[in-house]
Amino acid sequence: MRGAFFIAILGAAAGTAHAGSVRCDDQSNADLSVDGLLDDWKSNQVLARIGAPGDGAIALKCSWDGNSLGLALELADDRVVRVPGKRSGHEDHVDISLAVAGGKPIAIAVYPGNAVAKEKIVAAAKIAVADSLQPNGFSIEAKVPASRVSGFSASTPSFELRITFHDADQAAGGDDTDLVLATTIELGDKKDLLDDFLREVRLKRADLRLDTMAELDPDRKGKERLVAGGIVIGVLTDQFAYVTLPVPKPSDVREVKLLPLGPRGQQIVEAVVRQTGGGGSRDLLMLWTVWSGQLQPLAQIEVRKEQGANVLESQWTIDKRVKGPELIVTPKPAVGWTAGTWNDEAASDADPILLPWDTVKGGTGYTLRGHEIERRDVPALKRRR
């Protein structure tokens, strides 16, 4: 079992604790008995805590095994308040929200059972939840299959967890207060995978300029994690794969982002790099798709060439056509160079820079077909005489 990395303890009677990120114990949940009793959690460390035992408190433990998330909550309360019959609204209860960032959360509501009223638990199918009355409050135990969390995939690095304890003492002559514990649960196997990737490419987390989840791989369900830093772009699923950009230093990487060029929301990866030599420079627009967890090159396109004060440059946009999006690359007006002074050889390792004085070809259209790019010439606009 791997221990937790983070403990947050706050001594407020009511309020919100933003516990940063925590890492659950890496422990199998296969034999976890969800009965509300926390006797099988004795060896686990409290990861986050808010409140004071006499006035109400939450203590969180959790476990993760790659397939399910186990939660154990200790709710300290001097009076567990329930109302018989129809609920008045002034009752102790706990709301739990669990989600992938940007996804629809799973909602769990627990009204603890006591001598006055039976327990009431609201949860989606296949999510096991139970509570148990304790001498100084009550406890809650839950087991959530990862597949039940909307947007979860093999690449998901974390969950967003929010626990709200409605400590309702009004029915017993006191005040109602809410305690909120909010945290990001880092999934240990995915954190380790990122650490392995960073170690392989000799980067630190602070070096990452992009870390996002997106629909990249049509061969896999769910979103993939894309990271970029230094001169490396990586994709993390249940393993990692990466490409090294053809430049010597990170400052030569002008841009890394996603382009919506695929069908049904699929994205592709774009990078712009600047290469120098021979007294000048050129920018390459580089495109990749992700297929079976691997970055597959689609195209290299010259989009800028500079020699002294002379500059040729292209611009590009996504045209959302009925038959699918198309990347359209067109030339900008030349600076310095003219058709008469331009004598550079066309690139052999990339689609060469577009020439603004070309009277036939006005640009190039790029369409994604499977894991390959189809090209078409965009006719030049007829000039008015």
Residues 225 and 148 in one domain: no
Average pLDDT over residues 76-84: 88
Check residue 190 and report its DSSP letter.
Answer: H
Distance CA 128, CA 144 (A): 7
User: Among all chains, which residue has been given the structure tokens 């600047």?
Assistant: 274
- pLDDT recorded at residue 55: 74
User: Among all chains, which residue has been given the structure tokens 């329930």?
Assistant: 82
Residue 89: domain span: 8-186
- pLDDT recorded at residue 361: 95
Check residue 117 and report its DSSP letter.
Answer: S
Check pLDDT > 90 for residue 233. yes
**In this predicted model, what pLDDT tens digit does every residue of 313-333 receive, in sequence order?**
999 999 987 788 999 999 999
DSSP-derived 3-state class of residue 161? strand
Distance CA 59, CA 41 (A): 12
Give the chain's mean pLDDT. Answer: 89
Average pLDDT over residues 341-362: 95
- pLDDT recorded at residue 359: 93
The answer to whether 90 and 81 have CB atoms below 8 angstroms apart is yes
The answer to whether 367 and 384 have CB atoms below 8 angstroms apart is no
* pLDDT band (50, 70, 90) for residue 101: confident
Check pLDDT > 50 for residue 38. yes
Residues 253 and 320 in one domain: yes
Domains: count for the chain: 2
Average pLDDT over residues 252-256: 98
Distance CA 270, CA 381 (A): 27
Residues 19 and 101 in one domain: yes
Residues 280 and 157 in one domain: no
Query: Which parts of 152-218 fold into alpha helices (H)?
Result: 188-201
Residue 385 domain-assigned? no
Residues 318 and 358 in one domain: yes
* pLDDT band (50, 70, 90) for residue 27: confident
- pLDDT recorded at residue 173: 53
Check pLDDT > 70 for residue 16. no
Average pLDDT over residues 103-122: 93
Range of weakest confidence among 171-180, 257-266, 283-292, 301-310: 171-180
- pLDDT recorded at residue 201: 97
Residues 280 and 214 in one domain: yes
Average pLDDT over residues 335-353: 95
Question: pLDDT over 70 for what percent of the chain?
Answer: 90
- pLDDT recorded at residue 84: 84
> Which residue, 169, 186, 203, sits at the end of a domain?
186
Residues 161 and 103 in one domain: yes
Residues 63 and 23 in one domain: yes
Range of weakest confidence among 9-18, 36-45, 311-320: 9-18
Distance CA 115, CA 113 (A): 7
The answer to whether 129 and 93 have CB atoms below 8 angstroms apart is no
- pLDDT recorded at residue 88: 58
Distance CA 43, CA 33 (A): 15
DSSP-derived 3-state class of residue 172? helix
Check pLDDT > 70 for residue 39. yes
- pLDDT recorded at residue 376: 95
Residues 137 and 233 in one domain: no
Check residue 147 and report its DSSP letter.
Answer: G
The CA-based diameter of the chain, rounded to the nearest angstrom, is 94
* pLDDT band (50, 70, 90) for residue 13: very low
Residues 180 and 328 in one domain: no
